[in-house]
A = this chain, B = another copy of it.
Amino acid sequence: MTLDTPTAPVRIVPRGASLSALPPVATPALKTLCSNCHLRDICLPCGMAHPDVARLDGLQFGRRKLKAGDELYRGGDRFQFIYAVRTGTFKSNLMLADGREQVSGFHMAGELMGLDGVANGRHASAAVALEDAEVCAIPYVHLNELTSGSADMQMVMARLMSREIVREHSLMMLLGSMNAEERVAAFLINLSQRMKARGYSPSEFHLRMSRAEIGSYLGMKLETVSRTFSAFQQQRLLEVDKRHIRIVDLEGLQRAFEPSVH
């Protein structure tokens, strides 16, 4: 007997399915070498020894450009590639049978998308560009062949998947046991850290996603997101102007999301 998804409490529905099966790599002319990439220390090759990175170059994978709103893949699409963000920002979308959607993640430069497709050979989520963007499309079977044979590379791959699990853990904690203010604070702090890690200002940045998308991600309504931003502004923790964010009091924000010593 074979179980397909042994412990999933909710069935995520392949919707839109394969009709969106675009030619997955639009610009095969642009070949990419990890070893020269300015993102190599925060992307797929992170943690690999130099000779292994050189072996990655052998994959000769292509890039793909997307415009704001374009779908990279949809839930139900055949899984062939994992994608690494080069530029731009993406959201991942889950869909329930009744059409309810939920954002399950935001992805920026160096982060991988599509690892959930390994399980069943079909993408479990959709990926949508929030602004003009470019990705590397890494053919999974080839990657798999390459990494088998090197326990080190295999470990790096396993670590990347495990990180995704850990990331979702923390989102589950957020959704399961935090109130609105804590959720928004955690979201902003996380964003701030990721901006900083990429060399941008951790205290002042531009949101690439709408209030509705933030709300969907955080399990609350867009009005509540807006109100919470306003509340933080009144508490002199933030300055908010539409999508422009300035974090005035980072420590105050951190207190806001770990409030009770309990």
Binding site for B on A (CB under 8 A): 1-3, 5-12, 41-42, 46-47, 94, 96-100, 102, 104-107, 110-111, 115-120, 124-125, 144-145, 147-151, 154-155, 157-159, 161-178, 186-187, 189-190, 194, 197, 216-219, 257-262
A262 to B13, CA, bound (A): 15
Evaluate contact between A168 and B170: CB separation under 8 angstroms. Answer: no
For the complex of A and B, list the 7 residue pairs with the smallest distance between their C-beta atoms, beginning with the closest. Answer: A118-B162, A176-B219, A119-B162, A175-B175, A10-B170, A168-B168, A148-B151
Instruction: Name the one of B98, B150, B197 contacting A262, with C-beta atoms under 8 angstroms.
Output: B98
Known: A116-B165, A176-B218. 13 other contacts (CB 8 A): A2-B41, A5-B166, A5-B170, A6-B42, A7-B105, A7-B194, A9-B190, A10-B186, A115-B165, A118-B159, A147-B148, A164-B165, A168-B169
Evaluate contact between B163 and A161: CB separation under 8 angstroms. Answer: no
A6 to B149, CA, bound (A): 27
Evaluate contact between A177 and B100: CB separation under 8 angstroms. Answer: yes
Enumerate chain B residues within 8 angstroms of A161, measured Cβ to Cβ: 118, 158, 161-162, 165
The residue on B at minimum CB distance from A174 is B10
